[in-house]
Structure 1
Amino acid sequence: MSESNHFYIRDFTKHRNLDGLSDKSLETLADSKAESTIDSYESDWNDFCDWCRYHKQSAFPASAETVVNYINDLADYAKASTIRRRISAISENYNAAGPDYKNPCREWIVKEALVGLSRKKGIAQKGKTPIYWEDMEKMVESMDLKNITEVRDKAILLMGFMGAFRRSELVGLDVEDLSFFPQGMIVSIRQSKTDQMGQGQQLGIPYLEDKHMCAVLAVKEWISKAELSTGPLFRRILKSGVPATNRLSDKTVNLIVKKYARRIGLQEDLYGAHSLRHGFATYAALHGVEERIIMKQTRHRSVEMVRHYINEANLFINNPISMIFNKKDR
């Protein structure tokens, strides 16, 4: 990683005033961390930088308030141990940068935020429970598609699942961001957490043979019923039953997921907007989809979270219970 990204751990001896040390001592310090550890630090630092770019905050120098906000956003899906490791990487990088740079992780509000997170979420804290395809089928089956709100909700749930969208990406879409082809729909994402340069990303969602569960047809139905031609794709519905001109908030997507989870008998507090993204990745892993292909759809830059989904799915793949009791030839 170039110095322009302000990652100093790999070559920290170059950035410190260590003139009093011999060349041998400097070499020993440079080799004090394993290459794999440095790679992990760099991956964690890059995640922080990506978050800061997306939220238009400075990663270097960063304020303690920025670090606290980052912690709380991570808490939506990451384990407490992952969050602590990320903060450790940020702190180590500031230490490596030298005494001219104030380390925001040493501020009391960062320490208190980590303590509060552990108390609230617990050491074994997990992200939102994934919504599997079978859950999605039940949710769609429960909908009254004569109601324009539920037509919209169907499009949100199916598109959120198939596109593995972050909720901010989903509500940020405009009608103009969609292109329809015989094979399906291409979605242009103008702003994303992992799009460092703001160049935009494109995502393909094919038609499904099961038309009732097809995200492309659900989106087309919503656009037709709402009579949309330009502007925000997903909007709130006025009391008159007419779509508003302003876009939904990302918090509304969270509430929509909880609403339908509750409707089909699931424990709603375990589910949220991230359940759609989590559900797609885990369901894809259950069906043996390769890691790189899952990452292409989810747009993860780091394999860490995708491997978490794959490991979760592997608890059921080649499970001895299934091999004993669910034999197809029985």
Structure 2
Amino acid sequence: MKPVQTHPFSPPALSKVDLDALNDLYARGTPENTLRAYERDLAYLTAWKRLRFNEPLAWPERDECALRFVLDHSRDLSDATDDARAVADVMIAQGLRRSLSCPAPSTLNRRVASWQAFHRMKNLDSPFDAPLLKQARAKARRAAARPTKPKSRNPITRPILEQMLDTCHGSMRDCRDRAILMLGWASGGRRRSEIATLMAEDISLKDFAKDGVVWVSLVQTKTTARGATPRLVLKGRAAQAIVHWIEVSRIEDGPLFRPVSKSDRLLKRRLTPDAIYQIVKHRLRLAGLPQDFASAHGLRSGFLTQAALDGAPIQAAMRLSLHRSVAQAQRYYDDVEIVENPATDLLG
């Protein structure tokens, strides 16, 4: 993915050749999801600065502008009548902002982090490193603190997954969706971006005939670097679903999961992460479950929840889920363990 021309990859005193080489290095060395986030954040910051100060972004940015950005995005503007409310109204109309409510601290942190990254790309100091800005951001996080919402309303545990798989019959689309659901769940709860970027070359069937094992190689994940992701394994029905998909689709190279036309014809381009999201929603609906029952992340939370229900050690589950933080993975185990805690039955 090539960076858009609006990326501020332009450190001073670089020749055009060096600048082009640096742009290419950033594009190759930055995950696609991060590049897309940079593009969205840059568009947001540019529009906000133009509306708030009638100025373009400055490099380095002024301290007062950075502080104003933090202040404007650290409160609910629903009842406000000042310039911050006027700017927010315009940005909502432009589709750059969702509502007048106070953005989540994570959203503010991501946009600030992007702004800081743009300064680093230009070899410049960021105003957000100033003590006043650091303190203001810390206060903003505390003031806007809210309970963390799960990425999926419910986990897709094994019984729910079985209901979804029962909706997959014999068409090309059904075979593909079965393979997506099986791989996404059984390989440790893969993120939709990880499923969408899989290539045929990432699947090894060398041990399938002998041991019934399929190996899956992820180029990189949210928690692992490119080339440092351990191989994952599929067994049993999940391995069979992948092999069946490869045989039916006759895919030998290129994207593993692709769109299927209305006439059940396989197309050449890859599925997008949003398409994976829609497939999960579609199968939930066909299974008779509410469309908002779960999201694609339910495959990930469902795998860990089921591992806890089945008594699998958390370290074993993390070997597949590739969670970096034990505390984060432990949340799914905590929900199961507290239900099984004998102290919850003291009243009878």
Task: Tell me what 1:160 maps to.
Answer: 184
Q: How does 1:205-244 map to 2 (within 5 A)?
A: 205-207=234-236, 214-244=237-267
State the alpha-carbon separation in 2 of the partners of residues 146 and 166 from structure 1: 26
Residue 252 of structure 1 aligns to a residue in which SS?
helix
Q: Deviations over 1:231-285 (max 9, x none)?
A: 1110001233221111101101111111111222222123111110110011101
Counterpart check, 1:65 vs 2:41: yes
Residue 41 of structure 2 aligns to a residue in which SS?
helix
| Letter matched to residue 224 of structure 2 | D
Decide which of 182, 202, 210 is 2:231's aligned counterpart: 202
Decide which of 275, 280, 296 is 1:273's aligned counterpart: 296
Task: Tell me what 1:189 maps to.
Answer: 218
Decide which of 188, 196, 199 is 1:171's aligned counterpart: 196
Change (3 A) 1:57 1:166: closer
Cα-Cα RMSD:
4.2
Give the superposition deviation at 1:322. Answer: 8.2
Counterpart contact for 1:166–1:277, Cα < 8 Å: yes
State the alpha-carbon separation in 1 of the partners of residues 258 and 129 from structure 2: 38
Task: Tell me what 1:151 maps to.
Answer: 175
How many pairs are equivalent? 242
Decide which of 288, 291, 304 is 2:314's aligned counterpart: 291
Task: Tell me what 1:54 maps to.
Answer: 31
Q: How does 1:115-126 map to 2 (within 5 A)?
A: 123=147, 125-126=149-150
Give the superposition deviation at 1:137. Answer: 1.1
Change (3 A) 1:154 1:192: same
Deviation above 4 Å: which 4+ runs of structure 1? Answer: 55-58, 84-87, 104-107, 319-325
Counterpart contact for 2:151–2:295, Cα < 8 Å: no
Counterpart contact for 2:179–2:245, Cα < 8 Å: yes
Give the superposition deviation at 1:202. Answer: 0.8
Task: Tell me what 1:40 maps to.
Answer: none
Decide which of 259, 276, 292 is 2:282's aligned counterpart: 259
- The percentage of counterpart residues that share the same residue type is 28
Counterpart contact for 2:184–2:190, Cα < 8 Å: yes
Give the superposition deviation at 1:64. Answer: 10
TM-score with structure 1 length normalisation? 0.61
Any gaps of 5 or more consecutive residues in structure 1? 1-51, 70-79, 208-213, 326-330
State the alpha-carbon separation in 2 of the partners of residues 104 and 267 from structure 1: 46
TM-score with structure 2 length normalisation? 0.58
